[in-house]
Chains A and B, each alone.
Chain A
Amino acid sequence: MRALSIYILSLGVLLITACSEAVSNAKQEASLPEIFPDYTGVTIPVGIAPLNFCMDDRSALMVDAVVTDGKGRELHGQGEETTGFDIDQWHDLIANNPGDSLSVLVSAKYEDGWHTYQPFTIYVSRDAMDYGVVYRKLEPGYEVYSKMGIYERELSTFEETPLIENTQFSGCVNCHSFNKCAPTDMSLHIRGKHGTTLLRLDGEMKAYNTKTDNTMGLCVYPYWHPGGRYIMYSVNTTQQVFHVRDSNRIEVYDQASDLALYDTEKNELINTPLLARKSVMETFPSFSADGKTLYFVQATAIPEGSKELRNIHYNLCSIAFDSETGSFGEKIDTILMAESLNKTVTMPRPSYDGRFMMFTMADYGQFPIWHHEADLYMVPTSDLKQPITDVEKYRMPVVNTDDTESFHNWSTNSRWIVFSSRRDNGLFTRLYFSHIDEGGKDSKPFLMPQANPRRYYDELFMSYNVPDFVTAPVDFDDIKAEKLINSTERVQMKGR
């Protein structure tokens, strides 16, 4: 038995050494390595999964990386496709270096031998990130949808868990929303034959019919009031047209939209005339951190059938909200008159600590994910008290690229953002994370880590959609959800 153990151990050692190749006679390069994903100079949280990478140049035969901290501790990774860092050793190394930096020395083997590049730095932040992110994954299509689902990704590992997929029913899963990243309260739309809104309140899930006599259609984009009692929904009549030449493929636009407040205690969907005007389209609601202000965007409705979509410009607005009475103020303040800049604002998202407001700005319309020019902007909350005149100073200097940056959400400590970007290939949306420091400075974002990022992202033909942080596993009962969706029983929201 002992002999067998020794034999197995020897074999294991042999295999390990056989798989690893010493970097020898390497040519020293004066440049930083070009790697995919580009993790050079990024800031990461303690607890993030290993940042495995490969050489950006697909002709590399092998990649080798040595990560070293200030105390001389080392982590070595090597592989034909990716660095393949040991996950436990990685976590040990970064856990010992919060607020410090790591140096990464990369060597790559090509047909002419090894090349060693100048080391790059990874900064380890003291600010923690939440447990995971929840997102929808679907193909970046036009009107028809294939397989899709809502997935949860644990950020300290590479583990992705489907919460629900449309293989369980006939239809599509749509916007999901949590109350400040807490997975206990959740809103999830299902469209199609079994269309409904699933609401999980304090762990109990029910299927709702959100169409009332007072609203023009089903509820669409949700945002929870921090108190947990209310959810603000937009109600949208959406259309699509297609670009015949542009690299932006599709234009999704509203013909009409309103906002409606759902009171979870009374099961009432409350229509407020000021937020449901016919001549104006209101959408993308969000509450301030203290819950006293509702932010949203609004634009002048275009005539029915009009294709003057480039004239649709949404302005950033706000209105006071009283959570005691569930009522809104009597006037709407326009914070950013984007139409005067020939721009459009979408998806306002206040940070949970009340310091900042982040939104996406594009040339026109309300669906920036299909706009290559869409970028993220971040405004200190203190600057929202007056109308914004010079918006360009709020354009995030580091996170944006020439391609789409769009849907974004804050971590619970408001020190991290997750956002969607098409920077990698112009079509398939990927998730990036960026650190926001005390002064509101954004760090170079990093692509969501994968065990073998090249292979994973090459073979992934789906886009990430509506990412949001969660503080703990969602623990979603998909079998119950499937039963609820496939049944005809719906709790009818009462209109008011």
Chain B
Amino acid sequence: MRQGRWVFLLSSIIFGVAVMLFFALAYPHHLHFQEQYQLFQFNQNYILGVLSLPGGVADLAGRFLTQFFLYAWVGATLIALVLVGIQYLTYRLLSQSHDDIFANALSFIPSILCCCFLCDENALMSAPVALLIVLGGVLSIRCIRAEEIRQILAIISIPIIYMLAGAFVIPYTLMLIIGEIQKESSLRVILISCGMLLVASLVPVIWHQFVHCSLVKLYVGPHYYRIPDDFAIWAWVAVGINPVLMLLSKVLSRWNPRNAFVVFVSSWGVLMLLGGMMVSKQQSQAQENIMAYDFMARNALWNRILQKAQAQAPRNQVAAVALNLALAERDMLTSSMFEFPQNGIAGLLPNFTSDYISPLVTSEAFYRLGMVNTAQRFVFEAQEAIPDFQKSARCYKRLAETNLINGAYEVARKYLQALQYTLFYREWATETMTLIGDDKAVEAHPEYGSLRKMRIDQEHFFGGNELHQILVWLLEANPKNKIAFEYLEASCMLVKDVEKVSRYYSYSEALGYKEVPSAIQQAMLLHWSQNHSVSDPLPSNVQANILQGFKNFYSTMQAHNGNPAPVKKLYGNTYWSYYYFN
């Protein structure tokens, strides 16, 4: 095939662009998600700490790349480059000649598998980087022509690769062995191969004597996957398939098809198709959706949240919390919340759960309510729950803010100092550092100053069940805290306490509502209907159209003997529907 190199290059470029477009356009919030669960610091202690475990170099490089995921396009480009790099090195490993079409086609398989791996939100970049190191190591050893020197260096390289790339040393060793056997299958080579396998299997045991990490983790790789007890299956398949591909490539290289170009393009096309299907199966748009809401809440993109929810109603707790926060920020919570599905208080201000995802968006709500200590707790705990014990730049930033607001300046300083070692948070941290110890500057700050004033002025305990009371205290501390009022009324409606909805409406006086928000009117009317007869005068602040709507709702409900489906169809966006059918 004359045009071999160009075709190969073009196939790699198309693959790389496809990967980049997928992550940048279809999966950007997975990249944001990855970035927020690490804190890459250009700091000696941090770097040495990462390097001190086997696979530390791959881990450090993976973390270095992940910090760029703050910008999805940059992250997507880096992923594409890494995967194309893996493909290229795999091709070099498999190719028996300059225009080995089968080697080129097969070389895309590990990269496709890596792409499947990276669809998982807990997949860490250190695994693809470790694969790059492993492939680079095998190719470097194979370059050595002197047999004995090569075999000695191969054995020596095993602990080095373990130090650099971690547990992928086993497939690395298998690749070396296959390479040797493909050159010569003598008894000596078999004995050397056994020796290499023995070294590879003993290296983790030796490391175990020196590092505080369980032996199982040392064998499966402590850095490839965020959840240490889980096995990074796709990453292992991606690296483990290389020895198989080496054998397959050798077999296929004997076949010399007449029309190599057609064979290559068709086999490549089939692989791409299969790869696309696998990636499509592995990727999770539901998770991407959750991450999108979290990203928008983190960046206060309230209008975007509302637009997204209007296009497709949120179906999970994180999205519901973000949506309700966006509604409250736009003064629409108590008027429009039932236009979207609501799942009780858990969709407004859920109790703490020991995970590293949902408390973050809940903490955004607490923060904006002025419950600074509670926001701080949720952020702190979310960070503590990161399974691989990394720290989070997002959490550090918020913890610096909450401590500034609370006047805990020395604690805030610590977080800001750590952020000053980062690439993308340094500038913010340095600017914010000027507020340390300066109460007047904090009070004059548009965000921190107002949140300092919004805090509850008396000390109370919060165990999770005192939400209504806490919101009341917030309002009493600051009667102009409109978001607290919206949350108070919303929480009462969600727990179906219509008596309290009516009672707490008195807190709206200082908030400048021109009319009673529609959902509150619906709740008030419901409360009135439960305690009054038809002849009693109606509450003055209920509008005629709401009253008419209520009458229609009731008659529809009676007409269908309480069957929810037809009533929900007509009145699903009312509080009455939520009250009776949720």
Contacts and interface: CB of A to CB of B under 8 A. Distances in A.
Which of A149, A169, A249, A428 has most chain B Cβ within 10 Å? Answer: A249
A425 B436 CA distance: 13
Interface string A212-247: 000000000000000000000000000011111111
Nearest to B466: A307
Contact of B462 (A139, A242, A461): A242
Contacts of B460: 243-245
A34 to B, nearest CB: 15
A251 B43 CA distance: 35
Contacts of A244: 371, 373-374, 456, 459-462, 470, 473
Given A244-B470, A424-B410, A169 B214 contact: yes
B374 to A, nearest CB: 6
B32 to A, nearest CB: 22
Interface string A448-490: 0000000000110100000000000000001100100010000
A247 B410 CA distance: 13
A307 B43 CA distance: 44
B462 A142 contact: no
A83 B510 CA distance: 59
The 6 A-B residue pairs with the shortest CB-CB distance, nearest first, are A425-B410, A147-B389, A165-B212, A144-B384, A241-B461, A241-B463
A146 interface: yes
A428 B212 contact: no
A459 B420 CA distance: 12
A205 interface: no
B329 interface: no
Interface string A154-173: 00000000101101111000
B213 A168 contact: yes
Contacts of B455: 245
A17 to B, nearest CB: 25
Interface stretch (B16-24, B119-127, B375-383): B375-383
A426 B403 CA distance: 11
A458 B414 contact: yes
Size bin of chain A's contact surface: 35 or more
A461 B460 CA distance: 27
Contacts of A242: 373-374, 377, 461-463
Interface in A177-191: none
Given A144-B384, A146-B386, A307-B461, 4 more contacts: A244-B460, A244-B462, A245-B373, A458-B414
B212 A426 contact: no
B354 interface: yes
Contacts of B383: 146
Contacts of A139: 380, 384
A167 B217 contact: yes
B427 interface: no
B214 A164 contact: no
A149 B214 CA distance: 14
Interface in A68-122: none
Interface residues of B, number: 46
A337 to B, nearest CB: 26
B209 interface: yes
B55 to A, nearest CB: 14
B527 interface: no
Contacts of B386: 146
Which of A142, A424, A458 has most chain B Cβ within 10 Å? Answer: A142
B82 interface: no
B461 A245 contact: no
A348 to B, nearest CB: 27
Contacts of A309: 461
Interface in B211-233: 212-215, 217, 222, 228-229
Given A146-B384, A167-B217, A459 B389 contact: no
Main secondary structure of the interface of A (DSSP, over half): loop
Interface string A111-147: 0000000000000000000000000000101111111
Nearest to A456: B45
A168 B208 CA distance: 10
Contact of B380 (A141, A168, A241): A141
A260 interface: no
Contacts of B374: 242, 244
A244 B374 CA distance: 6
Which of B215, B352, B389 has most chain A Cβ within 10 Å? Answer: B389
Given A141-B380, A247-B406, A241 B462 contact: yes
B411 A425 contact: yes
B462 to A, nearest CB: 5
A430 B492 CA distance: 44
Contacts of A479: 208-209
A52 B421 CA distance: 24
B373 A243 contact: yes
Interface of B: 43, 45, 208-209, 212-215, 217, 222, 228-229, 352, 354, 371, 373-374, 376-377, 380-381, 383-386, 389, 391, 406, 408, 410-411, 413-414, 417-418, 455-463, 470, 473
Contacts of B212: 149, 162, 164-165, 167-168, 478
A427 interface: yes
A145 B386 CA distance: 9
A162 B217 CA distance: 18
B381 A143 contact: yes
Contact of A249 (B43, B214, B228, B373): B373
Given A141-B381, A141-B384, A249-B377, A461 B414 contact: yes
A479 B411 CA distance: 36
Nearest to B473: A244
19 contacts: A141-B384, A142-B377, A142-B381, A143-B354, A149-B212, A165-B212, A167-B213, A168-B214, A170-B229, A242-B374, A242-B377, A244-B374, A244-B459, A426-B410, A427-B408, A428-B414, A458-B414, A458-B417, A479-B208
Contacts of B411: 425-428
Nearest to B383: A146
A471 B120 CA distance: 50
Interface string A23-57: 00000000000000000000000000000000000
A145 B384 CA distance: 5
Contacts of B381: 141-144
A443 B217 CA distance: 47
A482 B214 contact: yes
Nearest to B354: A144
Contact of A245 (B45, B391, B458, B463): B458
B43 A245 contact: no
Nearest to A162: B212
A255 to B, nearest CB: 12
A479 B371 CA distance: 45
A249 B463 CA distance: 12
A144 B414 contact: no
Contacts of B217: 167
B39 to A, nearest CB: 10
Which of B374, B391, B463, B470 has most chain A Cβ within 10 Å? Answer: B463
A286 to B, nearest CB: 29
Contacts of A482: 214-215
Nearest to A240: B463
A146 B462 CA distance: 23
Given A147-B389, A245-B455, A479-B208, A307 B408 contact: no
A176 to B, nearest CB: 15
A141 B209 CA distance: 30
A461 B291 CA distance: 28
A218 to B, nearest CB: 19
Contact of B459 (A141, A167, A245, A461): A245
Contacts of B377: 142, 242, 249-250
A157 B459 CA distance: 44
B214 A461 contact: no
Which of A146, A170, A250, A307 has most chain B Cβ within 10 Å? Answer: A146
B360 to A, nearest CB: 13
A461 B419 CA distance: 13
Contacts of A144: 354, 381, 384-385
A424 B376 CA distance: 20
